Amino acid sequence: DAGVIQSPRHEVTEMGQEVTLRCKPISGHDYLFWYRQTMMRGLELLIYFNNNVPIDDSGMPEDRFSAKMPNASFSTLKIQPSEPRDSAVYFCASSEAGQRFNGYTFGSGTRLTVV
Partner 1 sequence: GDSVTQMEGPVTLSEEAFLTINCTYTATGYPSLFWYVQYPGEGLQLLLKATKADDKGSNKGFEATYRKETTSFHLEKGSVQVSDSAVYFCALLNFGNEKLTFGTGTRLTIIP
Residue 95's nearest CA partner among 2, 27, 23 is: 27
C-alpha span between 17 and 64 (Å, rounded):
11
**Residue 109 contacts partner 1 per CB under 8 A:** yes
DSSP characters over 51-113: TTEEEE-TT--STTEEEEEEETTEEEEEESS--GGG-EEEEEEEE-GGGGGG--EE---EEEE
Contact between residue 68 and residue 76 where contact means Cβ atoms under 8 Å apart:
yes
Residues 2-61 that bind partner 1 (CB under 8 A): 4, 31, 33, 42-43, 45, 48, 50, 55-56
Min dist CB 113 to partner 1, Å, is: 14
Min dist CB 16 to partner 1, Å, is: 28
Number of amino acids touching partner 1 (CB under 8 A): 23
C-alpha span between 65 and 55 (Å, rounded):
16
Binding span for partner 1 by CB under 8 A among 20-28, 65-73, 77-85, 88-96? 88-96
Q: Which is nearer to partner 1, 45 or 72 (CB)?
A: 45
Q: Which of 7, 16, 100, 115 binds partner 1 (CB under 8 A)?
A: 100
Task: List interacting residues with partner 1 (CB under 8 A).
Answer: 4, 31, 33, 42-43, 45, 48, 50, 55-56, 91, 93, 95, 100-109
